Chain A
Amino acid sequence: MSKKGNKADLAPSRRDRIGIGQYILGFFLLLYTLFCALPVVLVFIAAFTDEKAINKNGFSYFPEKWSLSGMNAVLRYGQQLLTSYGVTIFITVAGTFLGLLVMSMFAYSISRPDFKLSKFLSIYLLIPMLFNGGQLSGYLVFTTQYHLKDSLWLLILPLCVTTMNVIILRTYIVNSIPSELMEAAKIDGAGEYRTFFQITLPLLKPSLAAVGFMMATAYWNDWQNALLYITSDSKKPLQLLLVNIQKSIEFLLNNNNVPASVKAAMGGTIPQYSSTMATVIVVIGPIMVVYPFFQKYFVKGLTVGSVKG
């Protein structure tokens, strides 16, 4: 911040400093940017490459022949694709809102100055970061004790509350929202709930945007819980579609026990390279579109939250 303020006085000396070094630095930064971006670009090119061209020449940034058949193949998933989109959007939206609501309420409560129980609650919050039961006992408890197998709750609840996110929200409340505001509201006769929902929550927005975006991507990208818990087609999120495509390719192409005639007969259903890449676009596309708008928030949110408190 202070840098920005000084920009005017620094301007002349800065121009002097733009030497050859800056261009070398820029070159290396550009190389690294390409290293990050080019693999993603390949997805888009491959999705519009003719299948025969891929089979003949392999994947390429300069395909011999372009084609829309990959995209058309994705549209042929039709109903299942729509269903999966619906499921993913539902768990992302529901999970993020639920998580933000309960976590900010918790963060608000444990940051109240003379609330004695807050010590215990802070420790209770911290313990899961140090110690946890691991995947296996989680799986057995959720499926055999709670009987939630194939339930969307298992896609929502496990990602809903994380210690780190509560700490980020709490740090923001303590450092960036003046407690006088809350006291003033109380003097004016607002109850605890009203103070929270009408004073604290609106002021918490930057932090909510940061945490919310991170949560939303975690929900959108979650394949592991889906793989373990979801069995029916009507509840399959997008990521599980991707995993299933991979598993069926694996099975058909690498399993020597499948007779050639069966393979030939199933030929039409072996997902092809271009259509697989087109599916990848469908899955990662929405995040690519939304992410630049949230960038400033999560950069800011990380900054604030990273302060130990």
Chain B
Amino acid sequence: MKAVKDFLSNTWKHRAHVVMALPVFLILFFIMYVPMAGLVLAFKEYDFTKGIWGSPWVGLKNFKFLVASKDIFINMTRNTLMYYIIFTALGTFLNVVLAIAIDQFVFKKVAKTMQTLMIIPVFISYAAVQFIVYAFISTDTGILNNTFNMGVRFYSTASLWPLILTIVKMWNSVGYGSVLYMSVLAGIDTSLYEAAEIDGANKWQKIWNITLPALIPMITVMLLLSVGSVMRSDTGLFYQVTRNSGTLYSTTQVIDSYVLNAIYKTSNFGFTAAASFFQSVAGLLLMLFANFTVRKIAPENALF
């Protein structure tokens, strides 16, 4: 009883802070929390006239669709996971390599200018990027086909797209991603390097024994943060850059682009709702699992 009273009087004392926290509270409530409740749609048959809450319950029927249409569902889940793994593994590796490379480069002014140019791609929307990609790989007017006389029909050859999308994604994100690691490198105590030098360590030994270990906590945190979005993709990359071309779906359709298509064409809401539900729940479980694992191994790097 006293605890409740204390709590209430504390809250009243801080009423100004409650008021200041209110706008974000409300925005999150209406934009993030209410749609969470909308996930119940996975267990309903959506009826446009009755809305989300009024539509009739149908149990697991939507999930039966999901299982029945194996190809579509398995294909988009597989693609989602595959691209997550490629982008995260390669991306982290390149971020770290680039950060160390820039850090080691002694011409700092030049490095700074180069870095400015490397970050630019991240600020170009995929709606614009797709025109740039088109200029390189279109069949008749593309630079690649014209320069090397290849005559490859990129936009109808699904097997090439994991490579194309990986290149575009790395082009887009590596320069920017390395900024974070560079800031860690800037914070390393230089006396460590000096001590290593006195002990006779060469450049590579210093990178291996001092630089890399210093980056590990940041790498862990970034990987952990990314695990929460395993099931979500960079929708623009898969929807815009591929020109949403149906012939490429076998290697380019991810859950998010499927859902976007379904909403845009107002089709298959039952199936889509079940897929969304799967996406949200799987994302949550992966995040909890990842955090649990990090907690066991290196508690200081866990998120919560």
Taking beta carbons and an 8 Å cutoff, which residues of A are in contact with B? 1-3, 6, 14, 17-18, 21-22, 25-26, 28-30, 32-33, 35-37, 39-40, 42-43, 46, 54-55, 57-61, 101-103, 105-106, 108-110, 112, 114-118, 121, 124-126, 128-141, 144-146, 157-158, 160-161, 166, 191-193, 196, 217, 220-224, 227-228, 239, 242-243, 246, 250, 273, 276-277, 280, 283-284, 287-288, 291-292, 295, 298-299, 302-303, 306, 308
A28 to chain B, nearest CB (A): 7
The one of B102, B116, B130 that contacts A246, using a Cβ cutoff of 8 Å: B130
- A157–B31 Cα distance when bound, in Å, is 7
B283 within 8 A of A: yes
Residue contact B17 to A29, C-beta cutoff 8 Å: no
Residues of chain A lying within 8 A (CB to CB) of residue B121: 36, 39-40
B259 to chain A, nearest CB (A): 5
Residues of chain B lying within 8 A (CB to CB) of residue A160: 27, 31
Residue contact A224 to B24, C-beta cutoff 8 Å: no
Residue contact B236 to A246, C-beta cutoff 8 Å: no
Residues of chain A lying within 8 A (CB to CB) of residue B10: 114-117
Residue contact A109 to B17, C-beta cutoff 8 Å: yes
Residues of chain A lying within 8 A (CB to CB) of residue B179: 298-299, 302
- A6–B188 Cα distance when bound, in Å, is 13
The one of A57, A228, A250 that contacts B243, using a Cβ cutoff of 8 Å: A250
Between A and B, 22 residue pairs with Cβ closer than 8 Å are A14-B106, A32-B118, A43-B132, A58-B142, A59-B142, A105-B21, A106-B24, A118-B17, A125-B28, A133-B32, A136-B41, A220-B125, A221-B123, A221-B125, A242-B128, A246-B240, A250-B243, A280-B132, A287-B124, A299-B183, A306-B218, A308-B303
A73 to chain B, nearest CB (A): 15
- A112–B20 Cα distance when bound, in Å, is 12
- A3–B103 Cα distance when bound, in Å, is 11
Residues of chain A lying within 8 A (CB to CB) of residue B110: 26
Identify which of B125, B190, B269 gathers the most chain A CB atoms within 10 Å of its CB.
B125
Residues of chain A lying within 8 A (CB to CB) of residue B138: 58-59
Residue contact A133 to B37, C-beta cutoff 8 Å: yes
Which residue of the partner chain B has the closest CB to A192? B16
B152 within 8 A of A: no
Decide yes or no: A115 and B14 within 8 Å by CB, A39-B171, A59-B135, A250-B243 being known contacts: yes
Identify which of A28, A137, A161, A246 gathers the most chain B CB atoms within 10 Å of its CB.
A137
B213 within 8 A of A: no
- A61–B135 Cα distance when bound, in Å, is 11
- A308–B291 Cα distance when bound, in Å, is 14
- A126–B303 Cα distance when bound, in Å, is 10
- A126–B233 Cα distance when bound, in Å, is 20
Residues of chain A lying within 8 A (CB to CB) of residue B146: 57-60
Residue contact A2 to B263, C-beta cutoff 8 Å: no
A34 to chain B, nearest CB (A): 9
Decide yes or no: A276 and B131 within 8 Å by CB, A59-B141, A115-B10, A306-B180 being known contacts: yes
A12 to chain B, nearest CB (A): 13
- A126–B284 Cα distance when bound, in Å, is 12
Residue contact B120 to A223, C-beta cutoff 8 Å: no
Which residue of the partner chain B has the closest CB to A112? B17
Residue contact B120 to A291, C-beta cutoff 8 Å: yes
Residues of chain A lying within 8 A (CB to CB) of residue B221: 306, 308
The one of A29, A57, A114, A284 that contacts B123, using a Cβ cutoff of 8 Å: A284
- A42–B38 Cα distance when bound, in Å, is 44
The one of B35, B102, B114 that contacts A134, using a Cβ cutoff of 8 Å: B35
Residue contact B52 to A130, C-beta cutoff 8 Å: no
Stretch from B71-79, B80-88, B158-166, B272-280 that touches the partner: B272-280
A70 to chain B, nearest CB (A): 12
Which residue of the partner chain B has the closest CB to A121? B21
Identify which of B25, B145, B187, B256 gathers the most chain A CB atoms within 10 Å of its CB.
B25
The one of A121, A137, A228 that contacts B25, using a Cβ cutoff of 8 Å: A121
Residue contact B123 to A58, C-beta cutoff 8 Å: no
Residue contact A115 to B17, C-beta cutoff 8 Å: yes
Q: With A42-B132, A112-B17, A138-B31 given, can you name 20 additional A-B contacts, CB distance below 8 Å?
A: A22-B107, A26-B107, A37-B117, A60-B143, A103-B24, A106-B24, A118-B17, A132-B35, A134-B39, A140-B46, A157-B30, A160-B27, A239-B127, A246-B243, A273-B141, A284-B123, A287-B123, A287-B124, A295-B119, A306-B180
Decide yes or no: A136 and B272 within 8 Å by CB, A158-B31, A246-B243 being known contacts: yes
The one of A55, A157, A166, A223 that contacts B126, using a Cβ cutoff of 8 Å: A223
Residue contact A17 to B106, C-beta cutoff 8 Å: yes
Residues of chain B lying within 8 A (CB to CB) of residue A291: 119-120, 123
- A46–B131 Cα distance when bound, in Å, is 11
Which residue of the partner chain A has the closest CB to B175? A36
- A277–B120 Cα distance when bound, in Å, is 17
- A158–B277 Cα distance when bound, in Å, is 20
B200 within 8 A of A: no
Which residue of the partner chain B has the closest CB to A160? B27
B11 within 8 A of A: yes
B36 within 8 A of A: yes
Which residue of the partner chain A has the closest CB to B131? A280
Residue contact A284 to B303, C-beta cutoff 8 Å: no
B33 within 8 A of A: yes
Residue contact B35 to A141, C-beta cutoff 8 Å: yes
B34 within 8 A of A: yes
B50 to chain A, nearest CB (A): 10
Residues of chain A lying within 8 A (CB to CB) of residue B284: 130-131
B260 within 8 A of A: yes
Which residue of the partner chain B has the closest CB to A57? B146
Which residue of the partner chain B has the closest CB to A10? B190
